[in-house]
Amino acid sequence: MLIPTLPIYVERNGGDELAVGLVIGIFTVSALLTRPFAGKALDNLGRRKVMVIGLIIFILSMSGYYWVTTIFLILSLRVIHGVGWGITTTTFGTVISDIIPPERRGEGMGYYGLSSTLAMALAPLFGIWLMEKAGFGWLFFLSTMLAVFSLLISQTIRYPDIPAPASVEENKQRGKLDDLLEKKALFPSFLVMLLGLTYGGIVTFITLFGQEAGIANVGWFFLANALMVMLVRPIAGKLFDRRGHVWILLPGAFFTMVGLLLLSYSSSVPSLIFASLFYGIGFGAIQPTLQAWTINRVAVNRRGAANGTFFSGFDLGIGAGAMVLGFVAKLASYATMYRVSILFIVLYLLTYVLYLLKQKEQ
């Protein structure tokens, strides 16, 4: 609900375009820096404690928006909000991977992904409506209450037994950086970062692209994309469980590239929706598959670090994609920018195929 409304709140409190960019960007950076430490805490302190701490930080930051009215205070609150977001989302992903039976992990991750997809499809529209009809006070109040409700229902989770964390001697052998980042999760995290680079260009510049292309309402892209993601994820998850990641990650790359190419040539709402369907198939198949594959590659007591590494890669991709592709758009056009972003998926394909060939040799 805050994605489309918070920039307006910043502008009404005297912020310019730079301030809006900082408010959005500093949140991502804060979450990115938090995730590795959240992953380590999950493996060492336990799931329940970290979830409660993260949700409390999240609730306090959400309630704070009602009181802050200067750009400096909003930016400061966004840092705290990013910390809460980084902890909670990393925790949710880890707890889900603990609960889902290993033989149905791909399918389960697909169902789990539907929750965020549904939120991204409906909440922005509802947030704008609430802002216009009732004002920011009610917007922030309802957002805070949703976070409180999340904390309450989190207490009903039955956490499975997790093996004890590594001994002090094992931690010393791994080193401090290895303790924060899981090496076995780096390759899937790199692939999801490349996917995130394209997604960063979409969520950041789709509105400006619509103005350039003369498309009245680009919101249809997100709605159609979300619906397609919701349809694809359970199917892709079951296919992953039965046949493995190759059957998902290669076709998914093809659909993503076609979606980006069609998007770059879109000039009307129907053509925009058509492009979003292809991109939704690719994104909806690849992202949960990579997360399930990440979990399958690591030990049970390293799932927290693995999820922290994975989500950090995705966050890094979105943030870097916004900056790199924004520079491309400034030099050329937004349509050209989306064609250039296809190169990230080409790199994804080359890297993945080389990995498969190396695995075959071994």
Walk along the chain (362 residues) and give the pLDDT tens digit of each residue.
887 778 778 878 887 756 776 777 788 888 888 988 988 888 888 888 999 999 999 999 999 988 888 888 988 999 999 999 999 998 998 898 888 888 888 888 888 888 887 887 778 778 888 888 999 999 999 999 999 999 999 999 888 776 655 555 555 555 556 667 888 999 999 999 999 999 988 877 777 788 888 887 777 887 888 888 888 988 888 899 899 899 999 999 999 999 999 999 999 989 999 999 999 999 989 988 998 899 888 888 788 888 888 888 988 888 788 778 888 888 888 899 999 999 999 999 999 999 999 998 88
Q: Which residues of 228-250 are buried (b: 16+ CB within 10 A; e: fewer)?
A: bbbbbbbebbebbbeeebeebbe
Residue 131: per-residue pLDDT = 86
Sequence-ordered list of residues with C-beta below 8 angstroms from that of 251, at least 6 positions apart, any chain: 285
Burial degree of 286 (CB within 10 A; 0-12, 13-18, 19+): buried
Q: Which CATH superfamily is domain 1-113+135-156 in?
A: MFS general substrate transporter like domains (1.20.1250.20)
According to the model, what pLDDT value does residue 58 have?
94
Q: What is the 3-state secondary structure (H, E, C) of the chain?
A: CCCCCHHHHHHHCCCCHHHHHHHHHHHHHHHHHHHHHHHHHHHHHCHHHHHHHHHHHHHHHHHHCCCCCCHHHHHHHHHHHHHHHHHHHHHHHHHHHHHCCHHHHHHHHHHHHHHHHHHHHHHHHHHHHHHHHHCHHHHHHHHHHHHHHHHHHHCCCCCCCCCCCCCHHHHHHHCHHHHHCCHHHHHHHHHHHHHHHHHHHHHHHHHHHHHHHCCCCCHHHHHHHHHHHHHHHHHHHHHHHHHCCHHHHHHHHHHHHHHHHHHHCCCCHHHHHHHHHHHHHHHHHHHHHHHHHHHHCCCHHHHHHHHHHHHHHHHHHHHHHHHHHHHHHHHCCHHHHHHHHHHHHHHHHHHHHHHHHHHHHC
pLDDT attached to residue 170: 54
Phi-psi category of residue 86: left, alpha or beta, with phi > 0 → left and psi -120 to 50 → alpha: alpha
Check for a shared fold between 1-113+135-156 and 181-361. Answer: yes
Look up the pTM and report it: 0.77
Tell me, which fold does domain 181-361 have in CATH? Answer: Growth Hormone; Chain: A; (1.20.1250)
Task: Give 72's Cβ-side CA count (13 Å radius).
Answer: 0
pLDDT of residue 172: 53
> Which residue in the block uniquely carries the two structure tokens 């991502």?
28
Q: Domain residues of the chain, as ranges?
A: 1-113+135-156, 181-361
Whole-number pLDDT of residue 93: 87
Residue 350: the pLDDT is 97
